[in-house]
Chain A
Amino acid sequence: MTTPTQKKSRYGMVIDLDRCNGCGACMMACAVENNVPPAHREATDRTGITWLRVYRFNNGLKFPNNRSVFVPVPCQQCGRETPCVSVCPQQAVDVDPATGVVGQMPERCLGCRYCMAACPYHARYFNWWDAVWPPGMEKTLNPDVSTRMRGVVEKCNFCHGRLHAARERAAAAGRDTLQPGEYVPACVEACPARAIVFGDLNDETSEVARLARRPEAFRMLEQLGTEPKIYYLTRQSWVRKVSEDEVQMARKDQTHG
């Protein structure tokens, strides 16, 4: 049977840290696309919801050698021993064999937050409060993404609603496979610096696969062996060092979990 997902894809991203200027447009586009509600008034850096969060790192040197880097961190879409999948007691997380996307099912989640503890990247978020939309704003909700309730975990899924929509457009045109560029997450589209490139890593000719093979490319906490599908590019050696340094990442002012 022909299905739109028969060809195995492995969607991934390359984020050029030397291009990112930390404007936060990707975070905003992500929240709007995925029906993330405005933060509760009691929400803190630890309890707010940001499927994609831009962290700032500093090399700690005095002027004129001081440097900062902004690192957008979505779910890293681990391809091997995906930590959140193996710990979930509910089977509420799975890796789509057809796309490699790590999917979270908030409706199945019982809210134990074991996955949040297991995630090496702090890329999972818990709904501490029910969503409250300012009057009128519920009319702007994206119908392709269902809203979540209090007590469940959610995370980036590469804008899965957009994948559905892209597949539908392809099917309407009589095709059963997607062409490169037909499916692009909201953050990629919103980035004014064109710092994020998205595509199929299995497709050797795609730009994302080409960039991921570059010597400047690295993945976060690569030594864990989780094979993330988010690659970062930088030509600055100190930035690369930050990514390998778990102690730096665990500093309280830089993480939320």
Chain B
Amino acid sequence: MNRGLLFFAAGLLAALGIGWMGFPRMLYERIDQPLQFSHRVHTSEKVGLKCDDCHAFRSDGSFAGIPSVSKCAECHAAPLTASADEKLLVEKYIVPGEEIPWRVYSRQPDNTYFSHLFHVRQARLKCDECHGSHGSSESLREFQRNRLSGYSRDIWGQNIAGFSRGMKMTECSRCHAARGRSDACLDCHK
């Protein structure tokens, strides 16, 4: 076999390996959530919660996002199961009344304007159209924080194959374009 081609292929593989596997590890800091939580258990038939039982709109129309620990305490005043994470929840957060420092995958930068009101109440989007299968996930994946910007990996950038996950501007604008929304920068920025 041609030696030159072999060297080329080896170099290419090494470069791709570094670019796709090595570099993201360097750029993104991986942080575990303070507590494991299963959306699947909570939305299962046995428990029977709906998304908006915990993630609700306030009376003024603003969206409350991740519930405060008092919401958890409504059911988990004392552990209901033998789960270690539930024990942690009760002992570390519910009993002392401490909020859980969740890492929010979809937390947007300061210059982004978003309102659930328009998307959920007016445009009648389902939660999973943006949040994917998060509502039926078994566990919380690690949070990947960009070491340079401090932002979550889920909100910016696209990989070379055009595949993106999470909530990025490309996703927003793709959906807006598909629905024929006329867009101005300041519709979603502030």
Q: A51-78: which have CB < 8 Å to B? A: none
A81 part of interface (Cβ distance < 8 Å): no
With both chains docked as a complex, state the minimum distance between the C-beta of B105 and any C-beta of chain A, in angstroms. Answer: 21
With both chains docked as a complex, state the minimum distance between the C-beta of B187 and any C-beta of chain A, in angstroms. Answer: 7
With both chains docked as a complex, state the minimum distance between the C-beta of B55 and any C-beta of chain A, in angstroms. Answer: 17
Chain B binding surface, main DSSP class: loop
Check B190 against A164 for contact (C-beta < 8 Å).
yes
| Of A10-18, A99-107, A194-202, the one touching chain B | A99-107
A99 contact set on B, CB distance < 8 A: 184
- Count of chain B residues with a beta carbon within 8 Å of a chain A beta carbon: 22
Check A171 against B61 for contact (C-beta < 8 Å).
yes
A145 part of interface (Cβ distance < 8 Å): yes
| Of A90-98, A126-134, A243-251, the one touching chain B | A90-98
Q: B163-190: which have CB < 8 Å to A? A: 179-182, 184-187, 189-190
Measured CB to CB, the nearest residue on chain A to B184 is A96
Selected A-B contacts with CB under 8 Å, 8 pairs: A1-B123, A97-B184, A103-B186, A108-B185, A144-B190, A168-B115, A169-B61, A171-B117
Interface residues on A, range: 20 to 34
What is the bound-complex CA distance between A2 and B180, given in angstroms? 11
Contacts from A to B (Cβ < 8 Å): 1-5, 92, 94-99, 101, 103, 105-108, 144-147, 157, 160-161, 164, 167-169, 171-173, 176
Check A1 against B190 for contact (C-beta < 8 Å).
no
Measured CB to CB, the nearest residue on chain B to A167 is B118
Other A-B pairs, 13, CB within 8 Å; known A108-B185, A171-B118: A4-B118, A103-B184, A105-B185, A144-B113, A144-B190, A146-B190, A161-B190, A167-B115, A167-B118, A168-B117, A171-B61, A171-B121, A172-B117
Check A172 against B186 for contact (C-beta < 8 Å).
no
What is the bound-complex CA distance between A105 and B185, given in angstroms? 7
Q: A168-B117, A172-B61 are in contact. Are A3 and B190 (CB under 8 A)?
A: no
Q: A1-B181, A168-B117 are in contact. Are A160 and B186 (CB under 8 A)?
A: yes
Check B180 against A1 for contact (C-beta < 8 Å).
yes
- Give the 10 A-B CB pairs with smallest separation, nearest first: A172-B61, A96-B184, A103-B186, A146-B111, A105-B185, A146-B110, A171-B117, A97-B182, A160-B186, A103-B185
What is the bound-complex CA distance between A96 and B110, given in angstroms? 21
Q: A171-B121, A176-B122 are in contact. Are A164 and B184 (CB under 8 A)?
A: no
Q: A146-B110, A164-B113 are in contact. Are A3 and B118 (CB under 8 A)?
A: yes
A3 contact set on B, CB distance < 8 A: 118, 122-123, 181
With both chains docked as a complex, state the minimum distance between the C-beta of B173 and any C-beta of chain A, in angstroms. Answer: 13
B60 part of interface (Cβ distance < 8 Å): yes
B70 part of interface (Cβ distance < 8 Å): no
